[in-house]
Structure 1
Amino acid sequence: MAQRITIDPVTRIEGHLRIDVEVDGGQVTKAWSSGQMYRGLENILKGRDPRDAWLFVQRICGVCTTVHALASVRSVENALGLQIPLNAQLIRNMVQSIHCLHDHIVHFYALSALDWVDVVSALDADPVATAKLADSLSDWHGNSPKRFAAVKDKVKALVASGQLGPFANAYWGHSAMKLPPEANLMAVSHYLEALDYQRKATQALAIISGKNPHIQNLSVGGVTTNLNPENQTAVTMERLYYIKQLVSEVRDFIKMVYMTDVVAVGALYKEWLPYGAGVTNYLAAPDMFLDAAGIKADLPGGTVMNGDLSTIKPISTIADPYFIENVEESISKAWYEGDWSKHPWEESTDPKFTQFEDEGKYTWLKAPRFQGKPMQVGPLAQMVVGYAQGHERTIKAVDSFLSRVSAVAGVQVGPEILHGTVGRHAARAVRAGIMADLCLEHWDKLVNNIATGDYEIFNPPVFPKGEQRGVGVHEAPRGLLSHWIVIQDGKIKNYQCVVPSTWNAGPRDEQGQLGPYEASLMGNPIADPERPLEVLRTIHSFDPCIACAVHMLDPEGKETVKVKAL
């Protein structure tokens, strides 16, 4: 007999997400993904100056602030046909790549590692054996018996106190936890180190963007980052070199610790490689642009259908008609007025809440579709699209990672293992390494361009009479983000955000096609319905980001977390 499980809210994410599944025979047979928050910024923006939109849309989220700002200014520039100076392009690239490094580190260690790592089990680990294991994977300077012994003592003190802090309320001792004690102790030690390295990334981002979160250095037409090596009120070479130092340290952590830990999880949980694929239609956009026109890019875009690399179709620029003409959103299962599928430029955002209805409307999230099909976006989509296009940097990074997994697992694995829960973690780690390299490369390009005497950072926009339509596209840490704007006589007439977690967490459409979260849960094993760890593993692998910094609290101010098994 089927059993219903409701996880509401899903924790260790940004925003409020509800997941319902039916379990029969120890596996998921039905699934629903419900975004439980209404986002009304689209309506707030109507009638405003397009140059101000980026400051508003950053407030969609307390994590993804940078990415919404960037997509917004690009949407206005696209509508006006406005090119930005090369310096501005390179500074934006550095901002987005540094933000990405912070985001990916936080996601793996703070938001999802505890689905795989049993912290309490680390108390049974031998610090000397742990150091030997860690040394077999990398020569990171923090992998010493002394360090691991100190971390073990810290965990022991937390457990003895009964106050586990960030490690509270997890499923310790769950039968699906498979890592040996030494691997758990290594991961806990790296968890604590990750706190320092995500801080270094945040510090670098604040230096170049003026503030974090909610950056201050963007503008329609370029950036406001004053470049002058001789002026102490500007971003001097001293500050630029400090940014480089911080990013270099973060890159070392990513390549020697983060990627190594994901290799270990992938190899030691190899039985999980087949689970969590779901939708294998992939969509990614070009990004990290190399020229003022935004035509040449270091990251390729395109689509791959049904996981078949031979179906690759490139998306060459932000203005590529193949992308612009094929995106629409359905509200068939969403709490909005009507029952339509429309292009974002033609959409409205008219809330109409009912109740959660399995066969009716059950979410605030719309259902984005590309040529009528659900698409998965995110680091996995980027790696698949790049690999399919023969993108040299992507192929080299992915193959190197898979080789390391094969060595630890003792079995040869290929790109096919990326289609799933563990594969999403692998792709994100690989992408973090790529973005760290690109950040430093674009730092070099910026410094070299400044050395020629070019300090230009801004081209002023001009708003003509009549209507203009634009789209701003950006490969955010969670995947393809697009902001769609309609401008009438210099004011915003319509504004729609189609965000990565809408693509992935969106509901069924009018044809009954499941969204990627829902599809990825189908067939997942569930060992203990009272403790649905396996559901969290797959959902967390997407890095859900539903809205901005919202917590469910009871009247006494205590967090409310509900898991029901009926």
Structure 2
Amino acid sequence: MVVQTPNGFALDDSGQRIVVDPVTRIEGHMRCEVNVDDEGYIRNAVSTGTMWRGLEVILKGRDPRDAWAFTERICGVCTGTHALTSVRAVEDALEIEIPENANSIRNIMQLNLEIHDHVVHFYHLHALDWVNPVNALRADPKATSELQQAVSPSHPLSSPGYFRDVQNRLKQFVESGQLGLFKNGYWDNPAYLLPPEADLMATTHYLEALDLQKEIVKVHTIFGGKNPHPNWLVGGVPCPINVHSTGAVGAINMERLNLVSSIIEKCDEFNRNVYLPDVIAIGGFYKSWLYGGGLSSKACLAYGDIPEHPNDFSPEQLHLPRGAIIDGDMSTVHDVDVRDPEQIQEFVDHSWYEYAETGKGLHPWDGETQAKFELGPKLKGTRTNIKEIDEGGKYSWIKAPRWRGHAMEVGPLARYVVGYAKGHEEIKDQVDGLLRKMDLPVDALFSTLGRTAARALESEYCGRLQRHFFDKLVANIKNGDESTANVAKWDPSTWPKEAKGVGMTEAPRGALGHWVRIKDGRIENYQCVVPTTWNGSPRDSQGNIGAFEASLMNTKMERPEEPVEILRTLHSFDPCLACSTHVMSPDGEELTTVKVR
């Protein structure tokens, strides 16, 4: 049966049904089912969030100044970004302004997270969808060295001996029968297109990126005390500045600042010498594989982030762009107001929840999350052993957020599409330069490959912004300003009886918002709408499909039983189901009991 969705996709649930569960490498609570026709094309896609969590119900009745510490535990990978969004929401509700230094440090931490997340995503969560490490055993190390020098002549690690050593390490993995990091791949699938030398070069950089990870996160330990889950503070940042100190615990002195500066330089070098060159080189072999565009050419949303000045979130002050594109009209970028109940609403018609009023969308300030686990009549299997989901009924623990009724894609590609459409000078120069190097039209951006490339471009851009805000921080300190926090409204006696606020950021995976209601000094209601909620949403009351589902439509699969193409496209979003599935009871009643034996 063929059904036409309002957002432009023809869904056909006949043909072979393929189930991929779990999908994600980062954490496994995502299931995908597709219908494939006789020619191997995907004609229907169903994305399911299979996990249910309780972070928001835990927050009810708590001190809003502590909310960041709980919401930060939503995810251990995008560490810090939920905390930043939370303190912004509380500051917005209580009308707290932060100092200049706090704004610079928060921006450095967020930009550092963007780079760390993008590097980890590409090399450790996504590269193996394009790169075949087993094929690297057939590579000529000398030819690999020549390829490295052609791709990135400035990278110092490029000798034939260096690549031969890595190849020998890989050989030991394979001959032992234990592929270790590279286990469970479809390594003989013809969907892999790289020659052996490119596979060896990229696999080597996979290992180099592992070493870089431990260096990048030191920025969070310096400013936030630890990683993951660094410390944050309503009113600013918790790290005092004392450039003359040599032993004060937690103080930011010259030694700490010099270390941050050196890490920023390492990030820049890796982006220039490894990450961007690899994306260009690998992408060159996949130029004809331009599937996976989904909603990216139809509907994109970005909240914007990285304010130049503290307490000013107006679009012209944000280094990452804000705006919405709908109906494929790139000539018009719509203003986004997350406070407007007509703009952002969440629907649960196909989610395992229920609202008091069926078919209605709710703004997060008025959000309800009442669990209702029921399966459609066409389900195959049982409640505890599902063989095939019935997408005609409820089928996901993820809600369906919509912007003015539109399913939207969020994330680095959405940010870059919005920025390109707005004429953002640096983003436009980056995109045009990349397309020229790869000899591709602008339309190639709307694809899985484009989504992957946008992350690399953004990582490089964030590296430059890190340097900008570091230099700004140092200059401000030299001018005698060492303030990092505003605690004038720390005492709850200074707060209004009731208040509500919203915090926004652009997390590595996309637009992130936290909405809070405060009453009598305690949290009355707290709602998070996260990037994977946007991208991984099920169908809504009108039948519109979300970004994950849309991205898989009409993709050609080489071997449907080996779903490399499904993984390639879904991994390009870097799904994080831990972030997207929450539960909150507005009345505080017990929702479920879990017994651990």
**TM-score, normalised via structure 2 length:** 0.88
Partner of 1:113: 127
SS of the residue corresponding to residue 371 of structure 2 reads coil
- Counterpart of 1:312 (choices 323, 333, 346) is 333
**Out of 507, 521, 525, which is 1:494 matched to?**
525
Partners of 1:499 and 1:521 in 2: how far apart? 21
Q: 1:353 aligns with which of 357, 373, 379?
A: 373
1:365 aligns with 2:398: yes
**Counterpart residue identity of residue 309, structure 2:** D
Matched, 1:30 2:44: yes
Aligned residue number for residue 198 of structure 1: 213
| Contact 1:470–1:484, Cα closer than 8 Å, also in 2 | yes
Whole-angstrom CA distance in 2 between matches of 1:323 and 1:441: 33
**How do 1:371-382 and structure 2 match up within 5 A?**
371-382=404-415
**Structure 2 residue aligned with 1:473, among 497, 504, 507?**
504
Structure 2, unpaired ranges of 5+: 1-13, 376-388, 582-597
SS in 2 for 1:101: helix
2:174 aligned with 1:159: yes
In the other structure, the counterpart of 2:443 is 416
Match of 2:480?
453
SS in 2 for 1:372: coil
2:557 equivalent to 1:540: no
Gaps of 5+ in 1: 407-412, 551-566
Q: Which residue of the other structure, out of 539, 562, 565, is the alignment partner of 1:508?
A: 539
Distance 2:441 2:462 in 1: 22
Residue type of the alignment partner of 2:374: T
Q: Residue 549 of structure 1: CA displacement?
A: 13
For residues 478-510 of structure 1, give each alpha carbon's deviation from its aligned partner in whole angstroms, at most 9, with x where no partner exists: 001000111112211111000000000111001
Q: Is the 8 A contact 2:141 2:160 kept in 1?
A: yes
- In the other structure, the counterpart of 1:441 is 468
Aligned partner of 1:180 among 189, 195, 198: 195
Instruction: For 2:570 and 2:227, locate their aligned partners in 1 and report how far apart those are by CA, in whole Å.
Output: 27
Structure 2: which amino acid aligns with 1:313?
H
Q: How is 1:397-408 mapped onto 2 (pairs within 5 angstroms)?
A: 397-406=430-439
Mapped to 2, the partners of 1:323 and 1:394 lie a distance apart of 28
Per mean C-alpha deviation after superposition, the further-off stretch among 354-363 and 479-488 is: 354-363
Partner of 2:258: 241
SS of the equivalent of 1:283 reads strand
Deviation at 1:96, TM superposition (A): 0.6
Specify the alignment match of 1:333 in structure 2.
Answer: 350
For residue 58 of structure 1, what is the aligned residue in structure 2?
72
Q: Deviations over 1:172-209 (max 9, x none)?
A: 01011111111111111111111111221112221222
CA distance in 1, matches of 2:534, 2:366: 18
Indicate which of 285, 299, 303 corresponds to 1:285.
Answer: 303
Aligned letter for 2:17?
Answer: R
Contact kept? 1:278, 1:420, Cα under 8 Å: no
Partner of 2:26: 13
- Structure 2: how far apart are the matches of 1:472 and 1:189? 40
What residue number does 2:323 align with? 302
Aligned partners of 2:227 and 2:521: how far apart in 1? Answer: 30
State the secondary structure of the residue aligned to 1:424: helix
The separation in 2 between residues aligned to 1:398 and 1:95, in whole angstroms, is 25
- Aligned equivalents of 1:154 and 1:505: distance in 2? 38
Aligned to 1:563: none
SS of the residue corresponding to residue 518 of structure 1 reads helix
For residues 33-61 of structure 1, the C-alpha deviation after alignment (integer angstroms, 9 at most, x for no partner) is: 11111122111111111101000011111
Is residue 327–residue 371 contact of structure 1 (8 Å, CA) maintained in 2? yes
Q: Is the 8 A contact 2:531 2:580 kept in 1?
A: no
Q: Is the 8 A contact 1:15 1:547 kept in 2?
A: no
CA distance in 2, matches of 1:536, 1:101: 22
SS in 2 for 1:271: coil
Equivalent residue for 2:380? Answer: none
Distance 2:219 2:438 in 1: 31
Deviation, structure 1 residue 533: 0.8
User: C-alpha distance in 1, partners of 2:361/2:239?
Assistant: 41
CA distance in 1 between partners of 2:87 and 2:142 (Å): 52
Identity fraction in percent: 49
C-alpha contact (below 8 Å) 2:339/2:502 kept by paired residues: no
Specify the alignment match of 1:555 in structure 2: none
Specify the alignment match of 2:424 in structure 1.
Answer: 391
* Aligned with 1:209 (options 214, 224, 232): 224
Cα offsets for 1:333-355 (capped at 9, x unmatched): 11112343100011112212223
Give per-residue Cα distances to partners, 1:109-147, cap 9 Å, x unaligned. 100100111111111111111111121111211122111
The amino acid that maps onto 1:401 is L
Cα displacement (A) at 1:321: 6.1
SS at 1:272 equivalent: coil
Give the letter aligned to residue 160 of structure 1: E
How many aligned positions are there?
A: 539
In 2, the alpha carbon distance for the partners of 1:245 and 1:282 equals 35
* Amino acid in the other structure paired with 2:320: L
| 2:444 matches 1:426 | no
Structure 1 residue aligned with 2:55: 41
Greater shift in the superposed pair: 58-67 or 494-503: 58-67
What is the letter of the counterpart of residue 311 of structure 2? A
The answer to whether 1:168 aligns with 2:183 is yes
Aligned-partner Cα distance in 2 for 1:276–1:170: 24
Separation in structure 1 between the aligned mates of residue 339 and residue 223 of structure 2, nearest angstrom? 34
Q: For the residues of structure 1 that align with 2:411 and 2:263, how far apart are their CA atoms? A: 26
Q: 1:150 to 1:306 in 2, by over 3 A?
A: farther
C-alpha separation in 2, matches of 1:346 and 1:321: 13
Deviation at 1:365, TM superposition (A): 0.2
CA-to-partner distance for each residue in 1:69-100, whole Å, 9 max, x for gaps?
Answer: 00000011111222111111111001111111
CA displacement at 1:548 relative to structure 2: 6.9
Q: Distance in 2 between matches of 1:365 and 1:203?
A: 33
| TM-aligned CA distance change 1:62 to 1:322, over 3 Å | closer
* 1:332-387 deviation line (CA, Å, top 9, x unaligned): 11111234310001111221222343210001000010000011000001111111
* Residues 278, 521 of structure 1: 8 Å contact kept: no
Give distance in 2, aligned partners of 1:108 and 1:290: 28
